[in-house]
């Protein structure tokens, strides 16, 4: 799980141990388990294990043809090798992909099934009550809850796909994108919008699909998708506000998350707290950019801070919301926060 260790000496020892473990995992990988290969793509880079990324990517792409998530990873790998021709080939292949599907939930399911079985001491009653209150369980926390929290945070940290290829290629600070680039980006955003594994894909893609709609009919469909997403997202922000009444959290929250995806999990939270999962007729979001895209008003520009797009509206209102939307799920490598 790559534990974080503040003591420098222990941190170095843990990193060395992790590198040894991951090197052994790579050396013993038979190439017949796509989840192992997908996890090693991240794990090898994080731990410094010597792995052939090209071989891992080739096996993954062969096992899941047309998956833009893998094709974009191959594109980024070629960019880092300064292989322009290969990078362009993978970029075009990603734009012609049939789906976008990261394996984050499969990895999360595996991690949580293992950690729940690990022996753990009983929690101190005072601590159990405090944790249960802090994460709004409506009961005392158990060792199983702690395992779930650890996996949720760790899985987001190590398994959320990097969006650098998209944010770098599909964003311009000056002028507009060339028509061919914009068309390829739009096709990739459409694939992202159909994947509800994580919220970040909808945050990235739905506003762009409204902005780049080519017909009134296409724009109307894109706007309604954004409006429905914004309703769920903003309803959860209000639910997580410290001044809001005590909320209910599904007992099988993590299981729903890894089975059905993050968006379905948030809709379930609304349901059990008596909040409609669909927006009322005519409802508009508070977020200024989303509202502008839905009304046709001028769209406010994202502010640039320290070289990244920054939007404080996406910061969580409370510790509970921070658990629901961990910082890792809001950071876009190479681009930072969604607009």
Q: What pLDDT, on a 0 to 100 scale, did the predictor assign at position 334?
A: 36
Residues 158 and 43: beta-carbon distance below 8 Å: yes
The tens digit of pLDDT for each residue in 42-77 reads 888 888 899 999 999 999 999 999 999 999 999 999
| Spatial CA neighbour of 153 closest among 330, 332, 336, 328 | 328
The tens digit of pLDDT for each residue in 141-186 reads 999 998 898 888 877 776 666 788 898 899 887 778 899 999 999 9
Highest mean pLDDT among 23-27, 136-140, 157-161, 297-301: 23-27
- Whether residue 272 is predicted with pLDDT greater than 80 in this model: the reply is yes
- Whether residue 19 is predicted with pLDDT greater than 80 in this model: the reply is yes
Q: What pLDDT, on a 0 to 100 scale, did the predictor assign at position 239?
A: 82
Average pLDDT for 131-145? 86
| Spatial CA neighbour of 90 closest among 104, 102, 77 | 77
Q: Worst-scoring range by mean pLDDT, 9-18, 70-79, 83-92, 146-155?
A: 9-18
| Rg value, the chain, Cα | 21
% of residues, the chain, pLDDT over 70: 85
Burial 24-49 (b: 16+ CB within 10 A, else e): ebbeebeeeebebbbbbbbbbeebeb
Tell me the average pLDDT of the chain: 83
Q: How sure is the predictor about 1, in pLDDT bands with cuts at 50, 70 and 90?
A: very low
The tens digit of pLDDT for each residue in 188-236 reads 999 999 998 988 899 999 999 999 999 999 999 999 999 999 999 999 8
Q: How far apart are CA 171 and CA 161, in angstroms?
A: 18
- Whether residue 238 is predicted with pLDDT greater than 90 in this model: the reply is no
Q: What pLDDT, on a 0 to 100 scale, did the predictor assign at position 302?
A: 58
Q: How sure is the predictor about 133, in pLDDT bands with cuts at 50, 70 and 90?
A: confident
Q: What pLDDT, on a 0 to 100 scale, did the predictor assign at position 16?
A: 85
Q: What pLDDT, on a 0 to 100 scale, did the predictor assign at position 183?
A: 95
Q: What pLDDT, on a 0 to 100 scale, did the predictor assign at position 301?
A: 67
Greater pLDDT, 69 or 316: 69
- Whether residue 241 is predicted with pLDDT greater than 80 in this model: the reply is no
Q: What pLDDT, on a 0 to 100 scale, did the predictor assign at position 223?
A: 97
Backbone dihedral angles phi then psi of residue 332, each to the nearest 5 degrees: -105, 110
Backbone dihedral angles phi then psi of residue 290, each to the nearest 5 degrees: -60, -45
Q: At 310, which helix (H) or strand (E)?
A: strand 308-310
Backbone dihedral angles phi then psi of residue 298, each to the nearest 5 degrees: -55, 135
- Whether residue 337 is predicted with pLDDT greater than 90 in this model: the reply is no
Greater pLDDT, 205 or 10: 205
Q: What pLDDT, on a 0 to 100 scale, did the predictor assign at position 6?
A: 64
% of residues, the chain, pLDDT over 90: 54
Q: What pLDDT, on a 0 to 100 scale, did the predictor assign at position 222?
A: 97
| Spatial CA neighbour of 204 closest among 219, 185, 181, 232 | 185
The tens digit of pLDDT for each residue in 244-258 reads 677 777 778 899 999
Q: What pLDDT, on a 0 to 100 scale, did the predictor assign at position 159?
A: 64
């Amino acid at each position: 799980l790559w534990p974080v260790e503040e003591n420098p000496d222990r941190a170095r020892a843990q990193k060395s141990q992790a590198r040894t473990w991951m090197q052994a995992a790579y050396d013993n990988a038979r190439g017949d388990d796509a989840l192992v290969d997908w996890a090693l793509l991240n794990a090898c880079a994080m731990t410094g294990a010597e792995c052939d990324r090209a071989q891992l990517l080739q096996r993954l792409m062969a096992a899941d043809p047309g998956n833009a998530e893998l094709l974009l990873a191959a594109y980024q790998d070629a960019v880092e090798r300064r292989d322009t021709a290969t990078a362009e080939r993978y970029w075009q292949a990603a734009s012609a992909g049939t789906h976008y599907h990261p394996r984050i939930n499969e990895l999360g399911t595996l991690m949580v099934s293992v950690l729940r079985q690990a022996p753990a001491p009983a929690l101190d009653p005072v601590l159990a009550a405090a944790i249960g209150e802090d994460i709004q369980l409506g009961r005392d926390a158990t060792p199983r809850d702690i395992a779930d929290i650890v996996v949720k945070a760790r899985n987001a940290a190590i398994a959320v796909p990097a969006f650098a290829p998209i944010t770098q290629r599909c964003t311009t600070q000056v002028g507009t994108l060339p028509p061919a680039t914009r068309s390829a980006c739009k096709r990739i955003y459409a694939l992202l919008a159909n994947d509800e594994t994580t919220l970040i894909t909808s945050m990235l893609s739905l506003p762009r699909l409204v902005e780049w709609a080519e017909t009134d009919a296409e724009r109307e469909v894109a706007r309604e998708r954004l409006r429905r997403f914004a309703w769920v997202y903003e309803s959860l922000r209000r639910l997580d506000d410290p001044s809001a009444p005590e909320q209910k959290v599904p007992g099988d929250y993590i299981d729903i998350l890894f089975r059905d995806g993050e968006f379905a999990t948030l809709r379930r939270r609304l349901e059990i707290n008596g909040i409609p999962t669909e927006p009322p007729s005519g409802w508009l979001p508070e977020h200024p950019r989303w509202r502008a895209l839905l009304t046709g008003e001028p769209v406010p520009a994202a502010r640039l801070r320290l070289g990244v797009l920054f939007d404080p509206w996406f910061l969580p209102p409370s510790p509970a919301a921070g658990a629901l939307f961990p910082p890792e799920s809001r950071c876009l490598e190479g681009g930072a926060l969604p607009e």
